[in-house]
Protein backbone atom coordinates (compact mmCIF):
# COMPACT_ATOMS: atom_id res chain seq x y z
CA UNK A 1 0.00 0.00 0.00
CA UNK A 2 1.10 3.55 -0.58
CA UNK A 3 0.87 5.97 2.33
CA UNK A 4 1.63 9.61 2.93
CA UNK A 5 3.11 10.58 6.31
CA UNK A 6 2.91 14.24 7.34
CA UNK A 7 4.10 15.62 10.64
CA UNK A 8 4.45 18.85 12.55
CA UNK A 9 6.90 18.59 15.43
CA UNK A 10 7.38 21.49 17.83
CA UNK A 11 11.00 22.63 17.59
CA UNK A 12 10.93 25.31 20.28
CA UNK A 13 13.15 23.22 22.55
CA UNK A 14 16.27 21.09 22.00
CA UNK A 15 14.13 18.01 22.79
CA UNK A 16 11.69 19.01 20.05
CA UNK A 17 14.49 19.39 17.51
CA UNK A 18 15.74 15.90 18.44
CA UNK A 19 12.20 14.50 18.05
CA UNK A 20 11.97 16.12 14.62
CA UNK A 21 15.18 14.41 13.48
CA UNK A 22 14.05 11.04 14.89
CA UNK A 23 10.64 11.27 13.19
CA UNK A 24 12.30 12.13 9.85
CA UNK A 25 14.77 9.27 10.26
CA UNK A 26 11.94 6.80 10.97
CA UNK A 27 10.10 7.94 7.83
CA UNK A 28 13.26 7.75 5.70
CA UNK A 29 13.52 4.06 6.56
CA UNK A 30 10.21 3.44 4.74
CA UNK A 31 9.91 6.03 2.02
CA UNK A 32 11.01 9.19 0.28
CA UNK A 33 10.75 12.80 1.43
CA UNK A 34 8.56 14.76 -0.96
CA UNK A 35 8.39 17.93 1.15
CA UNK A 36 10.12 19.05 4.33
CA UNK A 37 7.77 17.16 6.67
CA UNK A 38 6.02 14.86 4.20
CA UNK A 39 7.04 11.36 3.09
CA UNK A 40 5.55 9.00 0.53
CA UNK A 41 6.04 5.36 1.50
CA UNK A 42 5.26 1.97 0.00
CA UNK A 43 4.64 -0.48 2.84
CA UNK A 44 2.84 -3.72 3.55
CA UNK A 45 0.40 -4.04 6.47
CA UNK A 46 3.09 -5.15 8.95
CA UNK A 47 5.45 -2.34 7.94
CA UNK A 48 2.60 0.15 8.24
CA UNK A 49 1.94 -0.91 11.84
CA UNK A 50 5.65 -0.95 12.69
CA UNK A 51 6.15 2.55 11.29
CA UNK A 52 3.08 3.86 13.10
CA UNK A 53 4.24 2.40 16.45
CA UNK A 54 7.75 3.78 15.92
CA UNK A 55 6.41 7.26 15.16
CA UNK A 56 4.10 7.20 18.17
CA UNK A 57 7.10 6.47 20.39
CA UNK A 58 8.97 9.47 18.94
CA UNK A 59 6.38 12.24 19.10
CA UNK A 60 5.08 14.18 22.10
CA UNK A 61 1.28 13.94 21.66
CA UNK A 62 0.61 17.20 23.53
CA UNK A 63 2.97 19.20 21.28
CA UNK A 64 3.30 17.36 17.96
CA UNK A 65 0.96 16.29 15.18
CA UNK A 66 1.23 13.23 12.96
CA UNK A 67 -1.01 12.22 10.04
CA UNK A 68 -0.86 9.07 7.95
CA UNK A 69 -2.95 8.93 4.77
CA UNK A 70 -3.47 5.88 2.61
CA UNK A 71 -3.13 6.92 -1.00
CA UNK A 72 -5.62 5.63 -3.52
CA UNK A 73 -4.16 3.58 -6.29
CA UNK A 74 -3.22 4.19 -9.01
CA UNK A 75 -1.56 7.17 -7.34
CA UNK A 76 -0.89 8.91 -10.66
CA UNK A 77 -4.65 9.21 -11.16
CA UNK A 78 -5.32 10.83 -7.77
CA UNK A 79 -2.21 12.90 -6.97
CA UNK A 80 -1.53 16.16 -8.77
CA UNK A 81 2.01 17.54 -8.78
CA UNK A 82 2.31 21.30 -9.25
CA UNK A 83 5.58 23.20 -9.30
CA UNK A 84 9.00 21.60 -9.02
CA UNK A 85 8.94 17.84 -9.32
CA UNK A 86 11.01 15.58 -7.08
CA UNK A 87 14.01 13.95 -8.74
CA UNK A 88 12.76 10.42 -8.05
CA UNK A 89 9.75 8.18 -8.27
CA UNK A 90 8.49 5.69 -5.73
CA UNK A 91 9.21 2.98 -8.28
CA UNK A 92 12.95 3.67 -8.04
CA UNK A 93 14.88 1.33 -5.72
CA UNK A 94 15.01 2.58 -2.13
CA UNK A 95 18.50 2.30 -0.65
CA UNK A 96 18.65 2.79 3.09
Please state, rounded to an integer, the average pLDDT across all residues of the chain. 88
Q: What does the pLDDT look like over 49-69, one tens digit per residue?
A: 999 999 999 999 999 999 999
pLDDT score for 54:
97
Q: Would you call 84 helix, strand, or coil by DSSP?
A: coil
State residue 26's pLDDT score.
96
Q: Hey, what domains does the chain have and what are their CATH numbers?
A: 2-73 (3.30.70.240)
Q: Are 86 and 34 contacting, i.e. CB atoms less than 8 angstroms apart? A: yes
- Tell me the pLDDT tens digit for each residue of 67-96: 999 987 776 777 777 777 666 565 666 555
CB 30 within 8 A of CB 86: no
Amino acid sequence: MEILVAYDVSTESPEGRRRLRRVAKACQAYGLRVQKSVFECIVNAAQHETLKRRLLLEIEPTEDSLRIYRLREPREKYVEQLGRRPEFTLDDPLIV
